[in-house]
Structure 1
Amino acid sequence: MKFKSIIASIALVFSTTVVVAQQAGFSEKALGTAVQQYLILENKLVASDAGEAQKAAQQLQTALKKVKNNQTILQYAEKIASSTQLDKQRVAFSSLSNALIALVEKSEFTSGALYKAYCPMANGNQGAYWLSSKNEVLNPYFGNKMLKCGAVKATLK
C-alpha cells in the first residue's frame, strides 16, 4: 500500500509540472491564469490534500479577481479557501467547475486545449464535471479511492 502512495505522489508531482507546461491560452489573459490556478487546485484534490487545496483555492481567488464575469466562480473558490474539510471542498469544487466550464466554453482560446471530464458517482451519485489539462481521468472527487472513475466527455479549444 505504501508503494502505491509513493507512486501516486510521484505521478501527482509530474502532473502538476505538466499543467504548467501545457497551458491553454485565452484572448482574456487573466482567464488563462485563473484556469492554471484551477488546475493546480484540481491536482491538490486528486491528491486528497485539503490543506494544499485550501492554499490553491486562495491563489485561485487572487487570479479570479482579474477575470471578467467572475462573481459566481469567485464565490465557490472562497468556499474552498475557507474550508479545511475535503468533502466540503469537493462539493464546492463541483459548483466551481460548472461555473468555470460555462465561462471557458464561451471564451476564445488562443492556444492549447482543456478536457471536460465527468464522474457519474461524484456528489452522491448525482455526477460532477471538471476541467483537466490532460486527456485522461484523474478524479478530484475521489482521489486515490477511485482515481480513474469517470470519462473525458469533450475537448475544449
Structure 2
Amino acid sequence: MKRIFLMIAVCSVTIFAAKAQSATQTAFGKTLQAYFETKNALATDNVAKAGAGAKNLLAGLAAFPVKTLPATQQAEWKKQSDELKKYATPIVAEKDLKAQRKSFENVSSAMIKLVKAVNLNSNEVYVQYCPMVKRSWLNEVEAVQNPFYGSKMYDCGEVTETIAKK
C-alpha cells in the first residue's frame, strides 16, 4: 500500500513539474516572439511596429514566471530583464528609426545572454552579426534580416551561432 502511495506521489510531482516547465517555456516563447517582432519591424524600417513589438516585449518580461526558474537562472533573468526594460522602453515611444535601432543594440545584447542562460527556446534561434555596425542580434530564421540597416542592407551579416531548441 505504501508503494502505491509513493508511486502516485512521484507521478504527481513529475506531472506537476512537466506542466510548470511547459508553462515557463510558453511564457518565454511569447517574450522571445515579441523580441522577434521588434527585430522584424526594424529590419523592414517600420517605426510603429517596432514600438508595438517593444511594448509586447516589456509585457512578456513582466508576465514571466521567474520563480519557476532555478536560482542561478533567476539571477541572470533579473540582470538581463533589467537591461531589456531599460533599453526597450525608449523604443516604445520613439518615432525616430535611428534612435530605435540604437536602443535595440542593447536589447539584442541582453536578449542573447538571456536566451543562452535560460535555455527555454522551443525552436532553434540564430545569432547573427553585422560587421558594419559590429553588433549581433537573434533571428528566428537562418536567413539574415538585419535590424540595424533595414532596407538599405537587409541581408548584411552572417550567422555566427545556432542556439539549439530545448
Cα distance change of structure 1 residues 26 and 39 upon mapping to structure 2, 3 Å threshold: farther
The residue aligned with 2:120 is 109
1:146 and 2:146 are equivalent in the alignment:
no
Match of 1:71 in 2: 82
* 22, 26, 30: which one aligns with 2:27: 30
Q: Secondary structure at the match of 1:109?
A: coil
TM superposition score normalised by structure 2: 0.72
Structure 1 unpaired stretches of 5+: 1-24
2:130 corresponds, among 95, 119, 125, to 119
Q: Is the aligned partner of 1:156 residue 2:163? A: yes
8 Å CA contact 1:45–1:143 kept in 2: the answer is: yes
Q: Cα offset for 1:96?
A: 0.3
Going from structure 1 to structure 2, the CA distance change for 1:96 and 1:26 (only over 3 Å counts) comes to: farther
Gaps of 5+ in 2: 1-21, 67-77
| Corresponding residue SS for 2:143 | coil
AA aligned to 2:107 is L
The verdict on how the C-alpha distance between 1:33 and 1:93 changes in structure 2, with shifts beyond 3 A counting, is: same
Are residue 91 (structure 1) and residue 98 (structure 2) matched?
Answer: no
Q: Aligned pair count? A: 129
User: RMSD of aligned C-alpha atoms?
Assistant: 1.7
- Which amino acid in the other structure matches residue 80 of structure 1? I
Give, in whole Å, the separation in 2 of the partners of 1:57 and 1:109. 20
Structure with greater helix percent: 2
Q: CA deviation at 1:28?
A: 4.0
TM-score normalised by L of structure 1: 0.76
Work out the CA distance in 2 between the residues paired with 1:84 and 1:28: 33
Q: Equivalent pairs: percent with the same residue?
A: 31
CA contact (8 A) 2:28 2:120 kept: no
The correspondence for 1:100, drawn from 82, 93, 111, is 111
